[in-house]
């Protein structure tokens, strides 16, 4: 059986091809844009947006092509519109989470393995998707926060954090001599503690009252601060005992 092309409307066929090509170009453009924004940040989100874009474009393409061929779509469009409105009302919180998730990921506000503080809670980002962020606290507890509820974020992994140790020197201690001795000994601390990124250095006196408070500062990642402060404090106390620098507790 030979296909009879004489009854095919050429204008409709050309219009159909134009719509198809336009939708294809639109989808490829969305792929390129989302790849540029998300591929190195969160592949799960990248894939989700691409699948959603594909389904949406295919649906629009089908509606337009059916309309070109004069197929009555009003009942379908009315039904789809009603369903869409109902879904928007029911899923409004979910849609807010998704919008906020896209903002967080595209702007790189934080990512997996970052140490962040969200609404006063500090934890490590275990996972991040379009809907929620999963945090692991310092004692191992897991907290799941919907992205729309992330109002205030402090990202401690963006930059190095300044840590410090205060030494309460006796008021009678020769501060200049004590600073010289401690400064000389601090040069070996980087070899002992590889997680110190900058320093430690003598910041100087921060208080003089009943005793002299000598502050030593350093820079490290947030998750290493607590351990480093305890370790450096112990080393400094040993230095003070070794060189008879009297401390006033």
Residue 213, pLDDT score: 92
The phi and psi torsions of 164 (rounded to 5 degrees) equal -150, 155
- Element (DSSP H or E) covering residue 54: helix 43-68
Nearest one of 136, 109, 89, 88 to 42, comparing CA atoms: 109
The DSSP secondary structure of 61-90, one letter per residue, reads HHHHHHHHTT---HHHHHHHHHHHHHHHHH
* Coil vs helix vs strand at 218: strand
| Rounded mean pLDDT for each run of 10 residues along the chain, 249 residues in total | 55 85 88 75 73 85 81 72 79 85 85 88 89 88 91 86 92 91 86 85 87 92 89 92 88
Residue 40, pLDDT score: 67
Compute the distance between CA of residue 222 and CA of residue 162 in angstroms, rounded to an integer.
9
Residue 3, pLDDT score: 44
Nearest one of 226, 225, 221, 182 to 202, comparing CA atoms: 182
Residue 1, pLDDT score: 42
Compute the distance between CA of residue 71 and CA of residue 35 in angstroms, rounded to an integer.
36
To which residue do tokens 């989700």 refer? 48
Round to the nearest angstrom and report the end-to-end CA distance of the chain.
103
- Supply 101's token pair: 């998730």
Compute the distance between CA of residue 57 and CA of residue 51 in angstroms, rounded to an integer.
10
Q: Quick check: 23 and 60 in contact, CB under 8 A?
A: yes
């Amino acid at each position: 059986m030979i296909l009879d092309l004489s009854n095919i409307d050429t204008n409709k066929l050309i219009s159909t091809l134009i719509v198809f090509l336009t939708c294809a170009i639109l989808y490829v453009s969305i792929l390129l844009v989302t790849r540029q924004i998300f591929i190195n940040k969160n592949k799960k989100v990248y894939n989700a947006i691409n699948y959603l874009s594909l389904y949406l474009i295919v649906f629009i393409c089908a509606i337009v092509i059916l309309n070109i061929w004069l197929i009555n779509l009003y009942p379908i469009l009315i039904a789809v519109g009603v369903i869409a409105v109902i879904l928007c009302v029911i899923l409004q919180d979910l849609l807010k989470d998704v919008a906020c998730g896209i903002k967080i990921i595209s702007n790189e506000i934080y990512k997996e393995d970052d140490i962040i503080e969200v609404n006063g809670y500090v934890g490590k980002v275990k996972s991040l998707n379009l809907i929620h962020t999963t945090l692991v606290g310092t004692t191992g507890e897991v907290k799941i926060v919907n992205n729309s509820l992330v109002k205030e974020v402090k990202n401690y992994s963006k930059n190095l954090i300044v840590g410090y140790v205060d030494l309460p020197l006796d008021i009678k201690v020769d501060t200049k001599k004590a600073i010289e001795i401690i400064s000389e000994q601090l040069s070996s601390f980087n070899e002992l503690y590889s997680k110190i990124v900058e320093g430690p250095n003598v910041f100087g006196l921060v208080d003089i009252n009943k005793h002299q408070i000598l502050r030593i500062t350093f820079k490290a990642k947030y998750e290493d601060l607590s351990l480093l402060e305890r370790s450096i404090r112990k080393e400094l106390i040993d230095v003070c005992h070794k060189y008879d620098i009297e401390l006033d507790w």
